[in-house]
Amino acid sequence: MEETMEKAILVAVNVNDKDYFIESLDELEELVKACDMTKVGTIIQNLDKVNNALYIGTGKVEEVKEKVIQTNVDLVIFNNELSPSQLKNLQKILNVPILDRTALILEIFERRARTKEAKLQVEVAKLKYMLPRLVGLHDSLGRQGGASGLSNKGSGEKKLELDRRKIEDKITELNKELKNIVSERDVQRKQRKRSGLPLVSLAGYTNAGKSTLLNAMVDMFKSDDSKKVEEKDMLFATLETSVRNITLNDNKQFLLSDTVGFISELPHDLVKAFRSTLEEIKQADLILHVIDYSDVNYKQHIEVTKSTLKELGVQDVPVIYVYNKSDLVLKDIPVVEEDKNSIYICASQKIGIEGLIELIKKQVYSDYVSVRFLIPFDKGNIVSYFNEVATINYTEYVENGTIIDVECKLSDYNKYVEYELKK
């Protein structure tokens, strides 16, 4: 039998006419869809401050309860993080599983996690979120019998049976496993560093088009479709870090990495759990900050991304602002604003990719030099090497060897400086 989608009522409090309240509610609806749930109603309350005991007012709780009974929903989802006591009190009154925004994001991550590392990271974040909320979370976390992570393992189980000590022990155990995976990742990172290839990292708000941009570059400079990553028009389609080697037409190469997107109020424990995955951004030579220019809240999304990068300790890394989906806003694209390190593109149609490549090259190939070499015939392997890793603009065969005009890395120039032909 086909599994029916869970039905949910959304509850949101607008405190003191909060900025971006409607947008935040729209985003909650997108998160609900991303979690394969369906919204059957929304209840909003305007307050000067939230109710300490119930988050919403007592009268509004009764309204929610009535709606729960009328619609026979599976759960109620709140648009902010609930305190342990609020969750416990609401659970008693509503008698239906409750998720807050944080728990919803954690559930999406749990469903999307594919690699062992991602699964461990999500489980650590979920356990940390759960620790202070054990009592109130029993029903909420027990609603999906066969799911992974914190949901019950058997359909007959109705209560979460882990006590605080067991959870803490489990977190310690998972962190040890993660530490081993992080060590492996560090080895891979050091190997890539030794290759001397610049690392360009994609960063930005979730669903801004980072994976689409990576695929567009793979498409333009590779013929192997297996190197593409999955792209979907939904929040958090990508959780795992993907690194691709991009070789340009002039033989210049760089590594391009794509990783999880950011969102406002991204759970702190989730950021901490994914810190090792997001380390790619910290180690980057250049960040491409991808922005959905067609989203009316793109300026807020930029600030959220900047704030998250700061929390990750990303400092002094050059940034190019890539305004994606610009075809939905501007008549003529691409538009390049070099003084602002910005470009307006459409990744899905591959419009503006060449201009972006030029901006990338100016940033990451600043240590390239133009030089003329005279390579003896018995050192033909050096010419072959430059053919593979550099741009040869001119070749001439003379009596005592091969003259080549090369644009190459400074390190390669220093390596073969003895063959330089002074002009």
Q: What is the mean pLDDT of each run of 10 residues along the chain (423 residues)?
A: 77 88 90 91 93 94 95 93 91 92 89 83 89 63 44 42 78 90 75 76 91 91 64 64 85 86 79 73 91 94 91 89 97 93 96 95 88 95 90 92 92 93 79
Strand 199-204 to 401-409 pairing:
unpaired
What does the pLDDT read at residue 303? 93
Task: Specify the pairing of strand 286-292 against strand 319-324.
Answer: parallel
pLDDT for the residue 222: 72
DSSP at 405 = E
pTM: 0.78
Facing residues of 253 across strands?
A: 247
- Picking from 77, 83, 87, 70, the residue whose alpha carbon sits closest to that of residue 28 is 77
Q: Which residues are 369's β-sheet partners?
A: 408
Distance, in Å, from the CA atom of 96 to the CA atom of 89, rounded to the nearest integer, reads 12
- Supply the DSSP symbol for 55: B
Edge-to-edge strand ranges of the sheet holding 368-375: 368-375, 401-409, 391-398
C-beta of residue 73 within 8 angstroms of C-beta of residue 9: yes
Structural domains in the chain plus CATH codes: 1-112 (3.40.50.11060), 114-194 (no CATH), 196-363 (3.40.50.300), 368-419 (no CATH)
- Judged on CB neighbours under 10 Å (0-12, 13-18, 19+), 253 is middle
Contact partners, residue 336, CB within 8 Å, separation at least 6: 342, 343, 344, 355, 359
- CA dihedral (347, 315, 298, 332) positive or negative: negative
Among residues 61, 93, 53, 121, which one has the least CA distance to residue 274? Answer: 121
The DSSP secondary structure of 95-149, one letter per residue, reads -S-EE-HHHHHHHHHHHH--SHHHHHHHHHHHHHHHGGGHHHHHHHHTS-TT-ST
418, two tokens = 């003895």
pLDDT at 195: 67
What pLDDT is stored for residue 237 in this prediction?
63
What residues pair up with 9 in beta bridges, in sequence order?
41, 76
Amino acid at 379: K
| CB contact set of 93 (below 8 Å; sequence gap of 6+) | 54, 61, 65
Q: Residue 137: which of 189, 176, 83 has the closest Cα?
A: 83
Q: Is 245 helix (H, G, I), strand (E, B) or coil?
A: strand
Is-cis flag, bond preceding 376, omega within 30? no
